[in-house]
Amino acid sequence: MQEPKTPRTPTVPSPEHVDSLATVLDLVRSGAARTRPEISRHSGLGRTVVTQRVNQLTECGLMEEGALGPSSGGRAPRELRFRARAGVILAAELGATSIGVGVTDLSGTVLAEREEAADIALGPDPVLDRVEILFDELLTEIRAEHGDVAVWGIGIGLPGPVEFATGRPSAPPIMPGWDGYPVRDRLTARFGAPVWVDNEVNTMALGELRAGSAKGQRDILYVKIGTGIGAGLVSGGRLHRGSQGCAGDIGHAAVNDEATVVCRCGNTGCLEAYAGGAALARDGLAAAQEGRSEFLAGVLESTGTVTAADISRAAQSGDRTSVELLTRAGRLIGSLLATLVSFYNPALVIIGGGVAAAGDLLLAAVRESVYRRSLPLATRELRIARSTLSDRAGLVGAAFMVIDELFAPERLAHWVAAGSPAGAPELVDVPLRAPLL
């Protein structure tokens, strides 16, 4: 008969332990080191400590031994591999008019994904019902192919401000019914996994940082120009969320004293009320109705409306009014960005979102304004580039948000000490310091 197991009381790991465990995992995860001697060389940790940490990480299923690695004389050391398939992450990006869902492995590689039209304004119940159904479908698909993988965490991007600490939207202007809704609690209960929720612009910035055009950068600014305008800030390699989680909400910065244009937030003079996709569509419609653009009048007649995408197409075919609208929007965005560039000195500004993807004209106007209005030192090395992940940035970033949280040193040390995962990590609520990068 087996002895009854005495429950293991997790010991509180020392700070050195926390750091060395995370360092060893990060070196193998990033591919910077593949063998124990390489880990030792890169980290400065002694051989005994490296062996202990590797053993712990192997025991809990995060690492495995592979083929023989390169030998520097003597017996070749075994190569170590991060077990990216030890679990999966569910990620969703909810836009104003679409849902994107995906399943990734623990290295952020997308294994399956789905996208469909959806209206965020229907409210949290119908939208999250649909997200849950899509997650279930993808999991069935993945499990048929990869076996019974456990969900280690869930990441959700929403098109509005989110209080990151609680995973609840906070007075989101385009999301009626979502204010204070417990998105995190609902999905945790449904899938039995930890959930993190953030503004989609932050997940987009994170996606670009980990897997897109900002890979390897430390100071970037991601600007989304879609129906609205928002920005995500990465400072020193970390997402800067600010004290309440709404850093980067530049769409409602005042760019004009006129009290004539009222923004959807209720204020007047906001950047997005002049330069966002909805503003472009409004001005394009007026131009069509007032006979200032033959092209847009034709669009209005055949489709019954004018969209921001119509204005981009019109501009590309030489419609002067549309060229002016896009140039004016680009200049307004650019002059605000110039302030941010001076204030914050990023190395890279990435412009994403539907309106930015539609043509070069807007991006050219943004660039011109930023370079003209910023100090030479701030722009000497500055690159302003279009998003390379485009509409996938938010989904990939939502998965990386979860991965970053799971492997934050303190959490990692706790669940490794507690003997999980094998199934999925049991997370304890531990205070986090800044993640090691």
Under the rule (CB under 5 A), what is the footprint of Zn ion?
252, 263, 265, 267, 270
Nearer of residues 276 and 284 to Zn ion, judged by Cβ: 276
Buried-state track 269-281, b at ≥16 Cβ within 10 A, e below 16: bbbbbbbbbbbbb
Nearer of residues 340 and 401 to Zn ion, judged by Cβ: 340
**If you search the block for the tokens 């930015």, which residue do you land on?**
356
Nearer of residues 273 and 341 to Zn ion, judged by Cβ: 273
CB of 275 to Zn ion, least distance (A): 12
CB of 198 to Zn ion, least distance (A): 20
CB of 269 to Zn ion, least distance (A): 8
Nearer of residues 19 and 272 to Zn ion, judged by Cβ: 272
CB of 267 to Zn ion, least distance (A): 5
Nearest to 69 by CA among 35, 99, 23, 29: 35
Nearer of residues 269 and 397 to Zn ion, judged by Cβ: 269
Residue type, 310: D
Nearer of residues 4 and 266 to Zn ion, judged by Cβ: 266
Nearer of residues 267 and 303 to Zn ion, judged by Cβ: 267
Cα-Cα-Cα-Cα torsion 372, 374, 375, 378, nearest 10 degrees, comes to -120
CB of 356 to Zn ion, least distance (A): 19
Neighbours of 347 (CB within 10 A): 13
CB of 270 to Zn ion, least distance (A): 3
Rounded CA separation 392/200 (Å): 11
Would you say 370 and 260 are in contact if contact means Cβ atoms under 8 Å apart? no
Q: Which secondary structure element, helix H or strand E, spans residue 379, and what is its range?
A: helix 376-379
* C-alpha distance across the termini of the chain, in Å: 48
Q: Which secondary structure element, helix H or strand E, spans residue 93, and what is its range?
A: strand 88-94
CB of 231 to Zn ion, least distance (A): 14
Nearer of residues 155 and 245 to Zn ion, judged by Cβ: 245
Buried-state track 213-234, b at ≥16 Cβ within 10 A, e below 16: bbeebebbbbbbbbbbbbbbbb
Q: Which two tokens stand for residue 24?
A: 């060893």
Residue 340: helix, strand or coil by DSSP? helix
CB of 330 to Zn ion, least distance (A): 19
